[in-house]
Structure 1
Amino acid sequence: MRAKLSTALAEGFRQVSSMVETVRAAHRADLRTRSHGDAALDPPRLPYDVIPVVTADGARLRVHAYGPLDAPVIVFSHGWTCSLEYWNAQINAFAGEYRVIAYDQRGHGESTNGYAKPSTNLLADDLCDVLDAVLLPGQRAVLAGHSMGGMTLIAWAGRYPERVAEQAAAVILTNTGAHSLVEVSTMIPGLNKPLQLLRGRALPTPDWLGKLVLGTPVVLPPIKPVRWIFARQVMTLDTSRAKLDYALSVVRACPIMTRSRYGLLLTNLHLGDDAKNLCVPTTVLAGDRDDMTPRLHAERLAALLADAGSLVAFKVLPTGHLGNVERYDLFNAELNALLTAATEPARAMA
């Protein structure tokens, strides 16, 4: 009896896993081919080079390079549950004039996991491998990181401070933080309201609840409640249908176990003051309705960078957590200003 039950459960799990993978593959195909109703978010039509990157622990990273080989370089590092397609609005805007590099973090998109346990040190090592593969001798890149991608840049600066000045021309961090992600979060609707009224500040999300929310390998079925929750907690309720559909496709294309493994990693994030090692011009952006990484995280980063003398700008955009999607116009303007400041001296000398 037990053997039959075990066999039935195993078969049921196999069928569910197969169905989930089929749905994920469909979303991956959509991201590569389908328009979501906003031209800026469409799959890039520019040709690209595939840069082979294999890490020390055997992970194969998908790395795409758009634009002229000898142009100034931008490297985009995406966040939790996303993929390089998350940067479509930036690839489409900048790949004509710049060499734009976007890669899938390990376990995300089409990158494999390797055998090492997920950690911020591992993500920093992956970034080293990507930079070594895409940069010409003596070349430096403007690095852009969203959410976990920003944490990757901070971890890289902490782990390899000597590389910052050698390989980075400037940095832009958006909707990210360095520690206490669960403590400083308003991702659970209504949870913070009582203390907010009494003390004028948000109630920290309990650690166990943060781990439950971020670490559970759940699927996101195509039903209205899921769309509403995603819009309310990850984006904003006034975001456009095109942007919401696009963002949901990106997140739904992520393997559910990757969502769980890296969600748990984020609940234990401890990067301390590593951002102070970003000794190059750095811009920090936050969202005024970002419940995943509220603006306090950006304020802490901006203070560290101001003390280090490398802060160029700190701005709060009218967005939720996906700032460079929700207001790609504003994000691109900030990135363009940073690119101009970082690359004009080099071009003048060329």
Structure 2
Amino acid sequence: MRAMLPTAVVNLVDTASAVVKSTLAAHRADLRTRSHGIAAFDPPTVPHEVIPVVTADGARLRVHAYGPVDAPVIVFAHGWTCSIEYWNAQINAFAGEYRVIAYDQRGHGESTNGYAKPSTNLLADDLCDVLDAALLPGQRAVLVGHSMGGMTLIAWAGRYPERVAEQAAAVVLTNTGAHSLVEVSTMVPGLNKPLRLLRGRALPSPDWLGKLILGTPVVMPPVAPVRWIFARQVMTLDTSRQKLDYALSVVRGCPMMTRSRYGLLLAALHLGDAATNFTVPTTVLAGDRDDMTPAIHAERLAELLRRAGTLAAFKVLPTGHLGNVERFDLFNAELAEVLTAATEPARAMA
């Protein structure tokens, strides 16, 4: 196919591809080397170990382990368009006392795509590979998932329920949901009311609209309108410049096609009641101004867990979608409580 194209077109495509790769590399390097004005977001100073993970379909996952190898373990699964660096405020806070494992979801950060089509089962399988590579025999971890990372944890519990008690000591689900993301989204003001009206008239489901919003491979140039839209739709308009710059650097490091492929996956997400398979204490956190996964998603998860008898806590924080960035202080305090509850019994027996 490439040989059939005119030389000028081939050269243009090659040049554009080189520019995109260079830009992505620059954003990732920025996260690893530059301070964003808030110490919590600085690149971790704790040395990390690289854990090699190759999936069955050939994806190479970037997995980092921070902190003592024999310490209690935390595993972080990031959300759509993010990377390991999204968790800097948590890595910096907990890597001294805990063994912190963080990884790039496939196609994100520096993890490759592999050959399989994106699916929640695939993300669950990747988490299995990470846990198998990172945990010592008999070791259990506190699993923390944000947005698509939370969906990964839910998918994992649904697909591998026997692993929950074996490998999880506790679970934290933050700014996430299990289904109907488009139907109850408030990203486009006034959108969900007409969607409900359309459904009430038994018209075809407007899935195309969700796919258009989440699946379009858009660029995010460093201009004021993009910053305003990102603050309004993903964070909050009163978020600080430093937090906004940091979050944008994380998201801009994600390839456009990865954003599109996994956006389409999220638009069709349906994990049902798989969260009831969490047989360990599970904390659910939401943001009161989260337009991507409004708090109703967290309420639904909390109700499922309450009925299953495993809901440890449900709280709504004063944030948008990026709760552990926008109010990392509050998020870290909640996580510290979970860690204490999950690890103190084991330490008392040691």
TM range (shorter): over 0.9
Residue matched to 1:37: 37
Residue matched to 1:209: 209
Residue matched to 1:288: 288
- Tell me, in whole angstroms, the C-alpha distance in 1 between the residues paired with 2:86 and 2:263: 18
Residue matched to 1:71: 71
On the 8 A contact 1:287/1:294 being kept in 2, the answer is yes
Question: What are the ranges of 5 or more consecutive residues in structure 1 without an aligned counterpart?
Answer: 197-204
Q: 1:215 to 1:92 in 2, by over 3 A?
A: same
- Tell me, in whole angstroms, the C-alpha distance in 1 between the residues paired with 2:190 and 2:225: 17
- Tell me, in whole angstroms, the C-alpha distance in 2 between the residues paired with 1:52 and 1:5: 39
Letter matched to residue 46 of structure 2: L
- SS of aligned partner of 1:271: coil
Residue matched to 1:185: 185
- SS of aligned partner of 2:187: coil
- Tell me, in whole angstroms, the C-alpha distance in 2 between the residues paired with 1:6 and 1:298: 52
Count residues with an aligned counterpart.
Answer: 340
Residue matched to 2:241: 241
Q: Deviations over 1:13-71 (max 9, x none)?
A: 33222222211111010011000010001110110100011111111100000000100
Letter matched to residue 322 of structure 1: L
Residue matched to 1:105: 105
- Tell me, in whole angstroms, the C-alpha distance in 2 between the residues paired with 1:297 and 1:152: 15
- Tell me, in whole angstroms, the C-alpha distance in 2 between the residues paired with 1:67 and 1:326: 25
Q: Deviations over 1:163-202 (max 9, x none)?
A: 0000000000000000111111011135357899xxxxxx
- SS of aligned partner of 1:239: coil
Tell which deviates more after alignment, 9-18 or 106-115. Answer: 9-18
| C-alpha deviation, 1:126, in angstroms | 0.5
Q: 1:64 to 1:7 in 2, by over 3 A?
A: same
- With normalisation by structure 2, the TM-score equals 0.94
- Tell me, in whole angstroms, the C-alpha distance in 2 between the residues paired with 1:298 and 1:7: 53
On the 8 A contact 2:127/2:156 being kept in 1, the answer is yes
Residue matched to 1:158: 158
On the 8 A contact 1:183/1:206 being kept in 2, the answer is no
Residue matched to 2:313: 313
Q: 1:167 to 1:14 in 2, by over 3 A?
A: same
- Tell me, in whole angstroms, the C-alpha distance in 2 between the residues paired with 1:163 and 1:277: 10
- Tell me, in whole angstroms, the C-alpha distance in 1 between the residues paired with 2:172 and 2:31: 25
- Tell me, in whole angstroms, the C-alpha distance in 1 between the residues paired with 2:14 and 2:326: 37
Q: Deviations over 1:222-241 (max 9, x none)?
A: 00000000000000001111
Q: Deviations over 1:140-160 (max 9, x none)?
A: 000000000000000000000
On the 8 A contact 1:182/1:206 being kept in 2, the answer is no
- SS of aligned partner of 2:276: helix
| C-alpha deviation, 1:120, in angstroms | 0.4
Tell which deviates more after alignment, 131-140 or 11-20. Answer: 11-20
Residue matched to 1:54: 54
Residue matched to 2:332: 332
Q: 1:24 to 1:343 in 2, by over 3 A?
A: same
| C-alpha deviation, 1:6, in angstroms | 5.1
Q: 1:138 to 1:227 in 2, by over 3 A?
A: same
Residue matched to 1:200: none
Residue matched to 1:199: none
On the 8 A contact 2:150/2:177 being kept in 1, the answer is yes
On the 8 A contact 2:75/2:144 being kept in 1, the answer is yes
Residue matched to 1:273: 273
- SS of aligned partner of 1:91: helix
On the 8 A contact 2:183/2:192 being kept in 1, the answer is no
| C-alpha deviation, 1:4, in angstroms | 9.9
Residue matched to 2:20: 20
- SS of aligned partner of 1:337: helix
- Tell me, in whole angstroms, the C-alpha distance in 1 between the residues paired with 2:11 and 2:217: 19
- With normalisation by structure 1, the TM-score equals 0.94
Question: What are the ranges of 5 or more consecutive residues in structure 2 without an aligned counterpart?
Answer: 197-204
- SS of aligned partner of 2:315: strand
- SS of aligned partner of 1:75: strand
- Tell me, in whole angstroms, the C-alpha distance in 2 between the residues paired with 1:129 and 1:143: 14
Q: Deviations over 1:293-341 (max 9, x none)?
A: 0111100000000000000110111111000000001111111001100
- Tell me, in whole angstroms, the C-alpha distance in 1 between the residues paired with 2:90 and 2:298: 21
On the 8 A contact 2:154/2:274 being kept in 1, the answer is yes
Tell which deviates more after alignment, 9-18 or 212-221. Answer: 9-18
| C-alpha deviation, 1:347, in angstroms | 0.4
How large is the Cα RMSD of the aligned pairs? 1.7
Q: Deviations over 1:250-284 (max 9, x none)?
A: 00000111101111010111100000001100000
On the 8 A contact 2:183/2:195 being kept in 1, the answer is no
- Tell me, in whole angstroms, the C-alpha distance in 2 between the residues paired with 1:195 and 1:321: 22
On the 8 A contact 2:280/2:310 being kept in 1, the answer is yes
